[in-house]
């Protein structure tokens, strides 16, 4: 537990309250004792009073790199007289309510800053209304926002802005109840420079509006981590009846080709787990600095351009983000400690979608690569580490620290274990009901386990499968499902042949997908010396592959083995691409190859400004800035 369990907020006395409401109203003077253990979510200041609806009116100012405007909150007080919102580095201009006689200032205070969490904005609720207004603007410290210059876009003529709110960054661009358990609907009016298009995790335009004024509506209640906005010079292309893609003009054809299967995926997903609840499913291709592969913002998945491989081979990521429309966006992890309920279920669902639109052998390749990720994650964290539990303990920590492959892959293998034990049909029926019964609600690990025991498996089977060990124990239990792949066996024998013969031309790789190549490259070991590296590269051109997954996997070896032919490409990649999943292993390899950190820091000095704050934080920590 943290030392600052009890935080005394005495407003003016201790200078914690810098913002006095205008219009001569009284400022909060009473001291408020805030007890961390009373919080319904360990990463939010939210108390009893809850926001049910938000109305945003925002202006996106590229010149000053800020978003400014007002937020209207419709509040259910639930007996409380104060509203607690989360903010982090947001400037509060004024807080008021609309009385019958007009605007009346409301007293408010700010709690002391807490590491990772920011501050509580504590507002006296008015007696005569359930609506409260806040005028605010973002600051340079808004970690959710990445402002890109025109130079950093494909078109090079207009700047670009995107947000990344998960896990707890929504509070850096909107005063908000920022925990996955707090849901609200929202509307927004957003003004952007002429010629540009604004998009949100809501109903979206399909063409640029002359005035630069856009209106959005999200009718379904969503948690704050799914608040999203993107502004750029964008075009829309429909892909199917309910699906479409947004991208810069330079990328739209490529993107439309790459994601052509989206409508089929949507139909496959509905067939397995029931109707899609969000009306449309569109995607936006962001600039390469986007720190993730994809982000499941409702109605508008954000994706990295690094999955535009040209051959539709990396589209499992779309299946993944689409699957979140059920696991995560409909049934939401109650707190970040239950993160595996979002990601493990989604990986399981992703692989079921891929099996449906492709075949079992395809899904099994994904599962095997996932198992490799799981093993290396457990190795990195330590097999006894609490961070290898499915149920996490992130109180007092940055929730981002718990967002490892454990949730994804250990979660996946637990669900696969249950499926294999009870049979697919009963498991699907169980999951379909799980999504239906818990739509727009939150789920804790404990309630899921209770459901599992009451609806799907006997207490005996629960023991036999050692479910508690999976959820509350460390490492990978030894009843983890074994996955076999003929396709990967062929790859392994090709690699072994190459190791002894050194003949790259003899590798018969026609019809290999990205996954086979990844398996191949991941198994390059000490036996592959520089001469063999050269032969592989001459034959398959990994260094300049148009496939970022292949490049990133290959570069780990080129860096560690000192295959200098790739150095220039490595540097170019690290400057252009900000996807954390690629950056972390590559900077780690650079550190391994040069433990003084010289090379890593040299490249980072050129690259850092291109990265989103989420990636900057991780690399700063790795290189101990």
Binding residues vs ligand BES (CB under 6 A): 166-167, 292-296, 317, 320-321, 324, 343, 403, 408, 581
> Which sign does the torsion angle of CA 616, 617, 618, 622 carry?
positive
Residue 200 to residue 244: CA distance in whole angstroms: 14
Cα first-last separation, the chain: 27
Residue 389 to residue 340: CA distance in whole angstroms: 10
- The secondary element (H helix, E strand) that includes residue 567 is helix 567-576
CB of 320 to Zn ion, least distance (A): 6
CB of 173 to ligand BES, least distance (A): 15
Which of the listed partners (ligand BES, Zn ion, none) does 292 bind, with a CB threshold of 5 to 8 Å by partner kind?
A: ligand BES
CB of 555 to ligand BES, least distance (A): 17
Which parts of 203-334 are beta strand (E)?
Answer: 213-223, 229-232, 235-238, 243-247, 281-285, 294-295, 300-303, 331-333
CB of 300 to Zn ion, least distance (A): 15
Distance of CA 20 to the CA centre of its chain: 36
Q: How far is CA 247 from CA 198, 244, 288, 349, 495, in A?
A: 12, 10, 12, 26, 38
DSSP secondary structure of 2-50: -STTEEEE-GGGGT------STTPPPP-S-EEEEGGG-SSTT----S-E
CB of 335 to Zn ion, least distance (A): 17
Residue 230 to residue 226: CA distance in whole angstroms: 13
Q: Which residues are known to be catalytic?
A: 321, 408
Which of the listed partners (Zn ion, ligand BES, none) does 370 bind, with a CB threshold of 5 to 8 Å by partner kind?
A: none
CB of 186 to Zn ion, least distance (A): 22
Q: How far is CA 167 from CA 227, 295, 337, 340, in A?
A: 11, 11, 11, 13
Residues sharing a CB contact under 8 Å with residue 569, sequence separation 6 or more, in sequence order:
543, 544, 551, 555
Residue 584 to residue 49: CA distance in whole angstroms: 40
Residue carrying structure tokens 């909107």: 174
Nearer to ligand BES, 293 or 298 (CB): 293
Nearer to Zn ion, 343 or 405 (CB): 343
Nearer to ligand BES, 166 or 358 (CB): 166
Nearer to Zn ion, 190 or 317 (CB): 317
Which of the listed partners (Zn ion, ligand BES, none) does 88 bind, with a CB threshold of 5 to 8 Å by partner kind?
A: none
Nearer to ligand BES, 21 or 293 (CB): 293
Which parts of 125-223 are beta strand (E)?
Answer: 131-138, 145-148, 160-163, 183-191, 197-200, 213-223
> Which sign does the torsion angle of CA 252, 256, 258, 262 carry?
positive
CB of 290 to ligand BES, least distance (A): 9
Which of the listed partners (Zn ion, ligand BES, none) does 612 bind, with a CB threshold of 5 to 8 Å by partner kind?
A: none
Residue 423 to residue 412: CA distance in whole angstroms: 16
Task: Tabulate helix, strand, coil % of the chain (nearest 5).
Answer: 40, 20, 35
Nearer to Zn ion, 347 or 507 (CB): 347
CB of 227 to ligand BES, least distance (A): 13
CB of 343 to Zn ion, least distance (A): 5
- The secondary element (H helix, E strand) that includes residue 51 is strand 50-61
Residues touching Zn ion, count (CB under 5 A): 2
Choose among 224, 234, 278: nearest CA to 255. Answer: 234
Nearer to ligand BES, 41 or 343 (CB): 343
Residues sharing a CB contact under 8 Å with residue 525, sequence separation 6 or more, in sequence order:
none
Residue 147 to residue 149: CA distance in whole angstroms: 7
Q: Considering only residues 312-371, where is the footprint of Zn ion by CB under 5 A?
A: 343, 346
Structure letter (DSSP) for residue 114: B
Nearer to ligand BES, 21 or 402 (CB): 402
Nearer to ligand BES, 50 or 320 (CB): 320
Choose among 26, 31, 2: nearest CA to 14. Answer: 31
Would you say 193 and 302 are in contact if contact means Cβ atoms under 8 Å apart? no
Residue 472 to residue 414: CA distance in whole angstroms: 12
Residues near Zn ion (CB under 5 A) are 343, 346
């Amino acid at each position: 537990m943290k030392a600052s369990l009890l935080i005394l907020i005495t407003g003016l006395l201790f200078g914690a309250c810098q913002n006095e409401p205008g219009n001569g109203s009284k400022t909060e003077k009473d001291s408020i004792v805030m007890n961390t253990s009373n919080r319904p979510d360990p990463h939010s200041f939210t108390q009893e009073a809850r926001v049910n609806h938000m109305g945003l009116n925002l202006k996106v100012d590229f010149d000053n790199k800020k978003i400014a405007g007002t937020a209207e909150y419709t509040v259910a007080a639930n007996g409380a007289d104060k509203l607690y919102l989360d903010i982090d580095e947001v400037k509060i201009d004024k807080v008021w309510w609309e009385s019958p006689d007009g605007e009346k200032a409301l007293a408010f205070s700010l709690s002391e800053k807490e590491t990772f969490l920011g501050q509580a904005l504590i507002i006296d609720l008015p007696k005569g209304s359930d609506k409260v207004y806040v005028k605010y603007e973002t600051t340079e410290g808004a970690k959710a926002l990445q402002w890109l210059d025109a130079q950093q876009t494909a078109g090079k003529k207009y700047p670009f802005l995107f947000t990344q709110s998960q896990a707890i960054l929504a509070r850096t661009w909107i005063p908000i109840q920022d925990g996955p358990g707090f849901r609200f609907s929202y509307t927004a009016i957003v003004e952007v420079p002429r010629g540009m298009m604004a998009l949100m995790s809501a109903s979206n335009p399909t063409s640029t509006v002359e005035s630069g004024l856009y209106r959005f509506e999200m009718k379904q209640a969503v948690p704050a981590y799914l608040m999203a906005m993107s502004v750029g010079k964008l075009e829309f292309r429909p892909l199917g009846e309910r699906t479409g893609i947004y991208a810069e003009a330079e990328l739209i054809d490529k993107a439309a080709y790459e994601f052509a299967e989206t409508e089929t995926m949507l139909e496959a997903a509905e067939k397995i787990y029931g109707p899609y609840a969000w009306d449309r499913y569109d995607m936006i291709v962001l600039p390469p600095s986007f720190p993730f592969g994809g982000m499941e913002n409702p109605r508008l998945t954000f994706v990295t351009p690094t999955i535009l491989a040209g051959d539709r081979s990396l589209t499992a990521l779309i299946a993944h983000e689409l699957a979140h429309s059920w696991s995560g966006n409909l049934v939401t992890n109650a707190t970040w400690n239950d993160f595996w309920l979002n990601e493990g279920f989604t990986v399981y669902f992703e692989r079921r979608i891929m099996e449906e639109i492709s075949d079992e052998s395809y899904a099994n390749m994904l599962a095997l690569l996932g198992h490799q990720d799981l093993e290396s994650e457990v190795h990195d964290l330590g097999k006894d580490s609490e961070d290898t539990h499915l149920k996490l303990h992130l109180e007092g920590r940055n929730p981002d620290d718990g967002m490892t492959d454990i949730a994804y892959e250990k979660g996946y293998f637990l669900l696969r274990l249950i499926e294999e034990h009870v049979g697919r049909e009963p498991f699907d029926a169980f999951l379909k009901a799980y999504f239906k019964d818990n739509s727009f609600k939150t789920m804790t690990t404990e309630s899921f386990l209770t459901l599992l025991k009451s609806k799907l498996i006997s207490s005996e089977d629960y023991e036999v499968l050692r479910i508690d060990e999976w959820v509350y124990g460390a490492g990978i239990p030894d009843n983890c499902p074994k996955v076999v792949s003929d396709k990967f066996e062929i790859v392994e024998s090709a690699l072994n042949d190459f190791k002894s013969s050194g003949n790259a031309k003899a590798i018969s790789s026609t019809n290999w997908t990205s996954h086979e190549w990844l398996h191949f490259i991941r198994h390059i070991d000490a036996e592959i010396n520089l001469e063999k590296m050269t032969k592989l590269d001459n034959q398959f051109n990994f260094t300049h592959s148009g496939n970022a997954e292949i490049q990133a996997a290959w570069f780990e070896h080129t860096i560690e083995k000192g295959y200098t032919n790739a150095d220039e490409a490595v540097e170019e990649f690290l400057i252009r691409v900000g996807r954390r999943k690629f950056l972390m292993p590559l900077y780690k390899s650079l550190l391994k190859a040069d433990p003084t950190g010289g090379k890593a820091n040299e490249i980072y000095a050129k690259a850092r400004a291109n990265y989103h704050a989420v990636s900057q934080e991780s690399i700063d920590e790795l290189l101990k800035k």
